[in-house]
A = this chain, B = another copy of it.
């Protein structure tokens, strides 16, 4: 990958994560990446497409992490707790903005390309949580219900943690997730 393209994606990743798609302009991105404006448009047909590619890279990172977790030999409970630990870690970072997919969806057109990209990632996210729940064999309820509930708790925790800049949502989501998993 060309150097300019990499710099642009890195700058976009940082700025989009910090302030969101609509609040970051091309000018700021290219200044941050230290490339000319025309260079940007040689690598990306539009700001929207840059965002889509950033979301794609984010999705791939997350998927890799999840694949590893699904193959992890630890118990389901330990791995569930690892998810909340990871979320807490992200939450403590200066630039925490919540789930980039959810926030990007919040500020883009319902029918647009970015929303389709988000919807795809959310489907993958649902698959992940259901797969994790399916490994929880002692569960008396169907794994898909448990997985969906875990996903919603995490999603809610991210949203509320972002909106109020506090950590209670993560801690309480973890507690509820454990209860639903039968570990209370």
Contact A159 B165 (CB under 8 A): no
Given contacts A106-B98, A145-B176, A180-B179, contact A152 B156 (CB under 8 A): yes
Given B19, B23, B151, B184, which contacts A156 in the complex, CB threshold below 8 Å?
A: B151
Interface range, A side: 35 or more
Contact A175 B149 (CB under 8 A): yes
Contact B145 A20 (CB under 8 A): no
Q: How far is the CB of A133 from chain B (nearest CB, A)?
A: 12
Identical copies in the complex: 4
Contact B152 A157 (CB under 8 A): yes
Contact B160 A20 (CB under 8 A): no
Contact A153 B151 (CB under 8 A): no
Contact A176 B152 (CB under 8 A): yes
Q: CB-defined interface of A146-184 with B at 8 Å, one 1/0 digit per residue? A: 001101111111111011110011001101100110001
Complex CA distance for A105 and B176, rounded to whole angstroms: 25
Closest B residue to A145 using CB positions: B175
Complex CA distance for A102 and B157, rounded to whole angstroms: 12
A22 lies within 8 A of chain B by Cβ:
yes
Contact A102 B163 (CB under 8 A): yes
Known A-B contacts: A20-B106, A152-B169. Give 11 more (CB < 8 A): A99-B159, A101-B163, A110-B165, A118-B163, A145-B175, A148-B172, A152-B172, A153-B156, A155-B160, A156-B157, A180-B180
